[in-house]
A and B are shown apart, each in its own frame.
Chain A
Amino acid sequence: MKKVKLSLIVALAILGASVTAFTGKTNITPGWYGQTTDAVPPYDLTYPIAASQLNTECPSSNQHICAVELDVNGNLVDTRKSANNFKP
């Protein structure tokens, strides 16, 4: 029983250290070395755009371009930036 407990503690310690090693500390700035976080909640759901049209592909809260949409003929339709919550 003692051995099982010890093994469990060691396994948890390894897991904890691994997570820390590979993710670093929390509270990392959005965009910091490729880290992204959800767009700033809450979305303004009072605006009359269907929830399915929320811009879920732009997760960072920094204002960089995250998508440019073209029609089938290659004409520009819209551009989406992070921290802008909606697509048209």
Chain B
Amino acid sequence: MAAAVIAVLILMIISKNNDSLKGDFNRNFISKTLVLLYHSKKMNGLRAICGIQKDQIYFETDSVGSIIETDSTLSNKRLLKFEIPGRETVQSLYTTFIDSSYYYIMAGNVPEVIRYNLHRLSYQIFHFPKNLFSESMVTGNSDFVLRAYQKFKGRWDQAFTMWNPVKNIFLTEENVSKKRGDAGFSTDGMLSFDRSSSRILYVEYYSNQFICMDTLLQILYKGQTIDTFSNTVIKVSLETTPYSKTITNGSPLHQINLESKAVNGKLFIHSATPAKNESSKEFRSNAVIDVYRISDGNYLSSFYIPEYKGERLKDFEVRADKIIVLYDNYVAVYSIPFNI
């Protein structure tokens, strides 16, 4: 009986002790908190924020060619539908961007970019003449940065490519991201583009590395996030059938960084790692955003984006003094009552 009670107590203590999950670093927290301005029930199928233009916010849905537009107060929702050629293959993997007068669909499995002119309601298709791509970013009207598949020493990996189909320009790097012949799994990450500084940022999911490049894919620096996980091991496995082979994760994923956005000279990273100076409870009930200066990669500060009705952040965008946040079932707009 006594042994059972002791065992229960030990297990309870272990369950409460989450400190072992904390990184060996501290965050410089901003004391003020975000102020909720507007909130709205999310429309069905809405999955990402794909653009903010003047007074409009645009959302990507899980049906290619359908985007949702709202005003900045999340009112006046409109579903915009566009005809998509070859929709079935495009649907399998796409990212959407709304930028100035254009609506871009980056179809990684085709591979192509479909560019709609929102004023003329006409479209152009730019077929990417190389391999499929897994990640993409629009850096100008006809300038794209892709993370495309490429073989290095006979094995599939991924490399950054700058592509302008109008001027027929290709630039592919060989040394920016590490090439391990694992189809790019271990260096998988998020591309973002800061218009104010014309800098391309690539933040890895599974390590504390991020890369800052110019638009010609020249490395300006390789930065590190404040957490201490520099060498996460990602193993890939190969599943073979008589008709196909599938490369997939062969080890549990330990994500370090969950989301990243580059805006107005700052890099915002949603981190998955709690610091020594925050409580596990606070960390679990908020999304922690670490802010870095893009010009040199230095860490500046951190703040929380709170849960909304028990839901945690899925996607976010920062514009001027506001943050638009996507939750599982809600969208919210917060004002930022502090200088970042």
Select from chain B the residue with minimum beta-carbon distance to A31: B255
- Tally inter-chain residue pairs, CB-CB below 8 A: 141
Q: A6 to chain B: which residues have CB within 8 Å? A: 1
**Do A25 and B88 form a contact, CB below 8 Å, given A14-B11, A62-B258, A64-B188?**
no
**Do A83 and B47 form a contact, CB below 8 Å, given A31-B258, A64-B255?**
yes
**Do A69 and B246 form a contact, CB below 8 Å, given A21-B11, A27-B312, A87-B92?**
yes
In the complex, B80 has a CB within 8 A of chain A: no
Q: A72 to chain B: which residues have CB within 8 Å? A: 242-245
CB distance from B241 to the nearest CB of A (A): 9
In the complex, B190 has a CB within 8 A of chain A: yes
CB distance from A86 to the nearest CB of B (A): 5
How many Å lie between the Cα of A43 and that of B45 in the bound state?
8
Q: A66 to chain B: which residues have CB within 8 Å? A: 248-249
Q: Which of B13-21, B71-79, B118-126, B210-218 contacts A (4 or more CB under 8 A)?
A: B13-21
How many Å lie between the Cα of A60 and that of B254 in the bound state?
12
Select from chain B the residue with minimum beta-carbon distance to A22: B15
Q: Is the CB of A81 within 8 A of B134?
A: yes
Q: A64 to chain B: which residues have CB within 8 Å? A: 188, 205, 253, 255
In the complex, B272 has a CB within 8 A of chain A: yes
Q: Is the CB of B8 within 8 A of A17?
A: yes
How many Å lie between the Cα of A54 and that of B64 in the bound state?
15
How many Å lie between the Cα of A73 and that of B194 in the bound state?
40
- Cβ contact of A10, chosen from B1, B185, B287, cutoff 8 A: B1
CB distance from B52 to the nearest CB of A (A): 19
CB distance from B325 to the nearest CB of A (A): 14
Select from chain A the residue with minimum beta-carbon distance to B314: A61
- Cβ contact of B4, chosen from A10, A44, A61, A76, cutoff 8 A: A10
In the complex, B62 has a CB within 8 A of chain A: yes
- Cβ contact of B132, chosen from A29, A40, A60, A79, cutoff 8 A: A79
Q: Is the CB of B245 within 8 A of A70?
A: yes
Q: Is the CB of B205 within 8 A of A79?
A: no
Q: A74 to chain B: which residues have CB within 8 Å? A: 245
Q: A77 to chain B: which residues have CB within 8 Å? A: 244
In the complex, B89 has a CB within 8 A of chain A: yes
In the complex, A65 has a CB within 8 A of chain B: yes
Q: Is the CB of A33 within 8 A of B8?
A: no
| Proximity string of chain A (1-19) to chain B, C-beta cutoff 8 Å, 1 when within and 0 when not | 0000010001001100110
Q: Is the CB of B92 within 8 A of A18?
A: no
| 6 pairs of A and B residues whose beta carbons are closest in the complex | A17-B11, A34-B252, A21-B15, A88-B92, A31-B255, A20-B15
17 contacts across the A-B interface (CB closer than 8 A): A10-B8, A14-B4, A17-B12, A20-B12, A24-B18, A27-B310, A29-B272, A32-B255, A34-B254, A49-B88, A63-B190, A68-B156, A70-B245, A78-B93, A78-B132, A79-B93, A84-B94
Q: In the complex, given contacts A40-B62, A77-B244, what are 12 additional A-B residue pairs having Cβ atoms less than 8 angstroms apart?
A: A34-B255, A61-B314, A62-B205, A64-B253, A65-B134, A66-B249, A67-B247, A68-B149, A69-B244, A70-B156, A76-B131, A84-B94
Chain A residues engaging chain B, CB cutoff 8 angstroms? 6, 10, 13-14, 17-18, 20-21, 24-25, 27-29, 31-34, 36, 40, 42-44, 46-49, 57, 60-72, 74, 76-81, 83-88
